[in-house]
């Protein structure tokens, strides 16, 4: 019999924790919604309104795959508006859509699961490839004339969903609008006085057809907002909350305006190599440096009120810059919060830099009309250093750094100039992840060409005052705690090897179970006093199985399908997967579906980020999870990436700051850890296990690694998940440069490195090389993994010393985990 224990609840009632986290999810969602256009139609007093569009009836709360969180219940936009006191006069269309959607899903998944069955029998196509055939939410039908009501205001919600394993489609009306959506928007605008278009998608879309339609009063980027999205949107629509979210990526006018747009992922016809030809020119760095018009720029977001942003002083102490920004609500009718952004432009020198770079930001409290607040924005000049590949060093060129304050990357004002007397080297590094394929990068452009700096305050900074770090790459041993040393003494090499592998999502023979976990560590050493620990997904909350049944045998089965698509499994398979609630003890683990990564970032609110991390940690502690497989922090290099919704931004500084604050909040819960992912340059989903990201070292360091560095150094992230892809010819988990030189030697990381799930094996990254090169834990584990690992050990791919090092890194976090402490208490 399997001896298991769980921390799940045995009653199904809604807890106080659920209620308070739902409130936080609603606040975060409302603060992240971005108002893109408003001619004064918004806010709207609760009353009677017309509501159409797929996303109104079935609001998409997040993406698919491992990022899908299983909450108790999600509020649609339709419900949210009703909760806020609106009367919806178009429920016939919405009800019909819901029924139609259900039928569409049933027929899609009928075919889908037949293909899965065939693939499983023939062993041909893998489940992963099939997952790429994502369900496309239909737009619904054209609105009939008799469905147009007598209301003044109409809201139309466009929705799209994306997810793991597949990138968004450029055609097939995924990135673009469907003819039926365009026709419907034309119909409503011709009929209603006020027309609000809401976009319920994870990332940008081609909105060109809307430009040709007269009568659109407002456009709202709702994004995907988790379980409280419908209520949050209603808060914005009714003006209970004033919008204050700002975009964290650039919305291009045309897809082809994005650099090398047609070479992205599957679009170029083959995926074995992805050439990052744009170099450092990602997002606004490209659009601004090359002066390309955009639809909505990075950092953009309107408010109901007007705000004035003024510089109240700049102070530089050695390399620490403090900018005082005075924000005033200069409107007369609405209160609201304002995001203030500081950008810097660079002098020309050894490096040609992007025309501007985000340096700092802050968000005001809610200001009433006429009220002001002074925000203190701080940054260190060293954070802005560029990377010189020739000398393997980060440097700041001598000359003028112009400082701007504003409300977006394009709405800003130069406020002062910081002049560096000589070029300063800030870090001396070694070459990492060298190119093995030829890469022709976009020739540089940028530098500030037009700003008139006469009359601006000038501040002199001496290069000699700027600190320089010289990194040491000799492999110093990590000092381990007495408890770990003691454990290690009693473990044989074979025992230690057990720790290097996970035990799959169902866990081991005994020990803790957290149903719905992505995997556990070994439970073979429970008798020795070492608990197994659970690793659970995110990033939009804690992904667990909400209702399970624990049978007498110790087996645990879900009572409800733990993923939306599994609801459509054919009868027999479903019966096999689901447990009968009467067959044992029923347990509950209801977690909160928070706004997706992009949405959380759009709040630009460090307090929200920290509270959200803290809340996830509280849920982890409640149910016994130790690792949260999040934050997802890959750079949004292209809007078609299927997992953009999990990620924060196209900007590395913002990405790093969100992750660092979420990490602080989460790890503030004793013995709970983040696993920042996917390290690194995993910016597409199509055939993600086989694609080689060809990136220059400079772009890698300035764009793709910078966020991770911030999460480690400022956030104190305790674990890192490597990615599936190759990076310049080497699989990420097999890269000594990524796992040791950068992470441990340069950034001072002391935690645990794990692989992404099933990223090692035949035709993939090597198990043995992962262990040799600094990737401690191989996930999700299992017999085939162990067989390969043993073979590699016998063939000398890695040594006993490597096993000891990896095992100790894992044991260190187990020893400090909350679960281990609870386990020890239970044994005394
Ligand atoms: C995803 C990871 C996730 C893991 C465990 C993988 O497919 O890429 O982000 O954490 O599965 O579910």
Of the three residues 257, 273, 304, the one that is the final residue of a domain is: 257
Of 48, 128, 36, 61, the residue nearest 91 (C-alpha) = 48
Contact between residue 593 and residue 71 where contact means Cβ atoms under 8 Å apart: yes
CATH number of the CATH domain containing 424: 2.60.40.10
The response to whether residue 757 sits with its C-beta less than 6 Å from ligand 1 reads: yes
High-pLDDT (> 90) share of the chain, %: 90
Encoding tokens for residue 293? 């018009």
Judge whether 479 lies within some domain: no
**466, 609: one domain:** no
User: Is there a single domain that holds both residue 737 and residue 769?
Assistant: yes
Q: Does residue 314 share a domain with residue 237?
A: no
What confidence score (pLDDT) does residue 446 get?
A: 67
Q: How far apart, in whole angstroms, are the C-alpha atoms of residue 196 and residue 185?
A: 9
Strand duo 457-461 + 510-512: pairing: unpaired
Which tokens in the block code for residue 619?
């849920």
Q: What does the pLDDT look like over 50-65, one tens digit per residue?
A: 999 999 999 999 999 9
| Tokens read off for 184 | 């419907």
pLDDT over 70 (residue 666): yes
Question: 31: Cβ below 6 Å to ligand 1?
Answer: no
Residues 30 and 133 in one domain: yes
The reply to whether ligand 1 has any atom less than 6 angstroms from the CB of 505 is no
d(CA 539, CA 613): 10
Residues 75 and 23: beta-carbon distance below 8 Å: no
661 close to 710: Cβ distance less than 8 angstroms? no
User: Ligand 1 mean position to 358 CA, how many Å?
Assistant: 30
Residue 9 lies in a domain: no
Residue 298 is predicted with a pLDDT of 98
396: which residues sit within 8 A by CB, 6+ positions away?
381, 382, 384, 385, 386, 420, 423, 424, 426, 463, 466
The answer to whether 391 and 311 have CB atoms below 8 angstroms apart is no
Q: Give the CA angle between residues 347, 350, 352 to the nearest 5°.
A: 60
**Domain coverage including residue 535:** 492-540+595-819
Mean pLDDT of 13-21: 98
Say if CB 187 and CB 21 are below 8 A apart: no
Six-digit token pair at 439?
């890469």
Residue range 801-808: average pLDDT? Answer: 97
**Paired tokens of 318:** 């050695």
Mean pLDDT of the chain: 95
Name the residue among 117, 147, 146 with its Cα closest to residue 130: 117
- pLDDT tens per residue, range 614-636: 999 999 999 999 999 999 999 99
Same domain (yes/no): 635, 675 = yes
Please count the CA atoms within 13 angstroms of the CA of 86 that sit on its side-chain side.
Answer: 31
> DSSP string covering 619-633, please?
HHHHHTEEEEE--B-
Given ligand 1 and candidates 67, 505, 520, 537, which is best to mutate, with the most ligand atoms within 8 Å of its CB? 537
Whether the CB of 499 sits within 6 Å of ligand 1? no
Atom number of ligand 1 nearest to Cα 688: 8
Q: Please state, in angstroms and rounded to a whole number, the distance separating the CA atoms of residues 160 and 175.
A: 8
CATH number at residue 53: 3.40.50.1700
248-281 tens-digit pLDDT = 999 999 999 999 999 999 999 988 999 999 999 9
Q: What is the pLDDT of residue 125?
A: 55
Structure-token pair, residue 580: 């009968």
Number of domains in the chain: 3
Confidence grade of residue 553 (pLDDT, cut at 50, 70, 90): confident
Alpha-carbon gap, residue 38 to 726, rounded angstroms: 45
C-beta of 90 in contact with ligand 1 (< 6 A): no
Which residue has its alpha carbon closest to ligand 1 atom 8?
A: 756
Residues 378 and 504 in one domain: no
User: Domain check: are 88 and 130 in the same one?
Assistant: yes
Check whether 509 has a pLDDT greater than 90: no
Cα 536 to middle of ligand 1, angstroms: 9
Residues 165 and 228 occupy one common structural domain: yes
For the CA of 675, the closest atom of ligand 1 is 10
Residue 247 has pLDDT above 90, yes or no: yes
pLDDT the model gives residue 448: 53
In a domain, 267, yes or no: no
Decide if 708 is inside a domain.
Answer: yes
**Residue among 797, 670, 807, 823 at smallest CA distance from 752:** 807
Distance 518 CA to ligand 1 centre (A): 8
Buried b (16+ CB within 10 A) or exposed e, 452-463: eeeebeebebeb
The CATH number assigned to the domain holding 700 equals 3.20.20.300
Q: Is 590 in the pocket of ligand 1 (CB under 6 A)?
A: no
Centre of ligand 1 to C-alpha 584, Å, is: 30
Note the pTM of the prediction, 2 decimals. Answer: 0.97
Ligand 1 proximity of 235 Cβ (cutoff 6 Å)? no
Asked whether residue 533 falls in the same domain as residue 395, the answer is no
- CB 518 near ligand 1, within 6 Å: yes
Query: 707 in helix, strand or coil?
Result: helix
Q: What is the dihedral of CA 96, 99, 103, 104, to 10 degrees?
A: 60
Mutate which of 164, 634, 675 for ligand 1? The one with the most ligand atoms within 8 Å of its CB, which is 164
Same domain, yes or no: 372 and 422: yes
Calpha distance 798→620 (Å, rounded): 34
Q: Tell me whether residue 654 is in a domain.
A: yes
Q: Of the given ranges (55-59, 154-158, 437-441, 823-827), which has the lowest mean pLDDT?
A: 823-827
Given the CA of residue 65, which atom of ligand 1 is nearest to it? 7
Q: Residues 340-383: pLDDT tens digits?
A: 999 999 999 999 999 999 999 999 999 999 999 999 999 999 99
223: helix, coil or strand? coil
What confidence tens digit (pLDDT) does each residue in 281-333 have? 999 999 999 999 999 999 999 999 999 999 999 999 999 999 999 999 999 99
Q: Does 555 reside within a domain? A: no
Distance in Å, CA 268 to ligand 1 centroid:
26
**Residue-wise pLDDT tens digits, 450-475:** 788 999 999 999 999 999 999 999 97
**Domain-embedded: residue 536:** yes
Residue 127 has pLDDT above 90, yes or no: no
Cβ(643) to ligand 1 under 6 A? no
Phi/psi for 417 (5° steps) reads: -125, 130
Residues 461, 502, single domain; the answer is: no
Please, which pLDDT band fits residue 238 given cuts at 50, 70 and 90? very high
Instruction: Pick the last residue of a domain from 216, 238, 257.
Output: 257
Domain check: are 400 and 511 in the same one? Answer: no
Q: Which of 239, 257, 275 is the last residue of a domain?
A: 257
pLDDT tops 60 at residue 136: yes
- 608 alpha carbon to ligand 1 midpoint, in Å? 25
Share of the chain above pLDDT 70, in %: 98
What is the Å distance from ligand 1's center to 596 Cα?
Answer: 15
Among 199, 160, 212, 239, smallest CA distance to 36 is for: 199
H runs (alpha helix) in 677-776: 697-699, 706-713, 736, 767-772
Residue 578 lies in a domain: no
């Amino acid at each position: 019999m399997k001896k298991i224990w769980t921390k799940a609840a045995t009653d199904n009632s809604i807890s106080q924790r659920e209620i308070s986290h739902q409130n936080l999810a609603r606040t975060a969602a409302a603060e992240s919604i971005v108002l893109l256009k408003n001619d004064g139609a918004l806010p709207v007093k609760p009353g009677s309104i017309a509501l159409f569009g797929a996303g109104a009836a079935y609001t998409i709360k997040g993406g698919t795959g491992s990022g899908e969180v299983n909450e108790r219940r999600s509020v649609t936009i339709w419900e949210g508006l009703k909760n806020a006191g609106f009367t919806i006069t178009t429920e016939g269309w919405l009800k019909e859509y819901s029924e139609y959607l259900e039928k569409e899903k049933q027929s899609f998944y009928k075919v889908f699961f037949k293909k899965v069955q065939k693939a499983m029998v023939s062993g041909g196509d893998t489940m992963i490839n099939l997952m790429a055939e994502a369900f496309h939410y239909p737009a619904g039908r054209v609105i009939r004339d008799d469905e147009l009501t007598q209301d003044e205001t109409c809201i139309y919600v466009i929705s799209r969903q994306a997810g793991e394993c597949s990138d968004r489609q450029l055609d097939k009306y995924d990135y673009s609008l469907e003819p039926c959506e365009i026709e419907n928007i034309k119909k409503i605008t011709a009929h209603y006085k006020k027309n609000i278009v809401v976009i319920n998608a994870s990332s940008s879309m081609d909105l060109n057809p809307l430009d040709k339609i007269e009568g659109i009063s407002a456009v709202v980027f709702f994004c995907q907002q988790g379980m409280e999205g419908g209520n949050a949107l209603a808060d914005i629509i009714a003006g209970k909350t004033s919008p204050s979210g700002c975009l964290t990526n650039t919305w291009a006018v045309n897809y082809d305006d994005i650099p090398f747009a047609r070479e992205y992922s599957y679009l170029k016809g083959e995926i074995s190599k992805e050439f990052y030809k744009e170099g450092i020119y990602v997002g606004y760095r490209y659009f601004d440096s090359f002066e390309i018009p955009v639809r909505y720029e990075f950092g953009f977001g309107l408010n109901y009120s007007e705000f004035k942003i003024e510089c109240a002083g700049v102070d530089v102490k050695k390399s620490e810059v403090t900018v005082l920004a005075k924000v005033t609500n200069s409107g007369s009718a609405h209160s609201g919060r304002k995001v203030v952004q500081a950008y810097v432009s660079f002098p020309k020198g050894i490096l040609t830099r992007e025309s501007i770079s985000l340096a700092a930001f802050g968000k005001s409290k809610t200001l009433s009309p006429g009220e002001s607040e002074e925000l203190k924005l701080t940054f260190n000049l060293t954070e802005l250093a560029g990377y010189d590949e020739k000398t393997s060093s980060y440097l700041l060129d001598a000359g003028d750094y112009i400082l701007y304050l504003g409300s977006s990357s394009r709405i800003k004002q130069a406020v002062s100039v910081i002049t560096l007397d000589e070029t300063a080297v800030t870090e001396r590094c070694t070459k990492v992840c060298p190119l093995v394929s030829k890469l022709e990068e976009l020739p540089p452009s940028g530098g500030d060409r037009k700003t008139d700096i006469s009359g601006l305050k000038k501040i002199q900074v001496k290069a000699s005052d700027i600190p320089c770090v010289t990194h040491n790459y000799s492999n110093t041993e990590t000092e381990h705690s007495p408890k770990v040393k003691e454990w290690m003494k009693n473990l044989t090499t074979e025992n230690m090897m057990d720790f290097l592998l996970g035990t799959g999502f169902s866990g081991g023979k005994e020990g803790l179970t957290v149903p719905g976990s992505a995997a556990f560590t070994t439970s073979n050493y429970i008798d020795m006093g070492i608990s197994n620990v659970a690793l659970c997904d995110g990033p939009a909350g804690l992904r667990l199985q909400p209702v399970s049944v624990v049978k007498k045998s110790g087996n645990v089965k879900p009572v409800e399908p733990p993923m939306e698509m599994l609801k459509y499994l054919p009868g027999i398979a479903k019966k096999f997967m689901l447990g009968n609630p009467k067959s044992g003890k029923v347990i509950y683990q209801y977690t909160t579906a928070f706004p997706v990564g992009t949405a959380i970032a759009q709040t630009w609110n460090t307090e929200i980020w920290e509270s959200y991390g803290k809340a996830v940690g509280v849920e982890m502690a409640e149910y016994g999870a130790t690792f949260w497989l999040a934050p997802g922090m890959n750079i949004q290099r292209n809007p078609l990436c299927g997992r953009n919704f999990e990620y924060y931004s196209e900007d590395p500084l913002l990405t790093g700051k969100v992750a660092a604050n979420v990490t602080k909040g989460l790890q503030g819960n004793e013995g709970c850890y983040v696993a920042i992912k996917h390290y690194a340059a995993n910016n597409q989903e199509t055939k993600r296990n086989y694609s080689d990201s060809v990136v220059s070292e400079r772009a890698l360091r300035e764009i793709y690694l910078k966020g991770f560095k911030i999460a480690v150094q400022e956030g104190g992230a305790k674990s890192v998940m490597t990615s599936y892809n190759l990076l310049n010819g080497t699989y990420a988990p097999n890269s000594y440069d990524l796992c040791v030189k950068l992470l441990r030697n340069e950034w001072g990381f002391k935690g645990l490195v794990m692989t992404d799930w099933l990223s090692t094996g035949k035709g993939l990254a090597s198990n043995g090389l992962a262990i040799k090169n600094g990737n401690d834990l191989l996930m999700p584990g299992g017999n085939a993994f162990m067989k390969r690992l043993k073979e590699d050990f016998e063939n000398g791919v890695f040594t006993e010393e490597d096993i000891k090092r990896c095992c100790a890194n894992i044991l260190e976090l187990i020893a400090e985990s909350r679960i281990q402490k609870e386990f020890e208490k239970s044994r005394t």
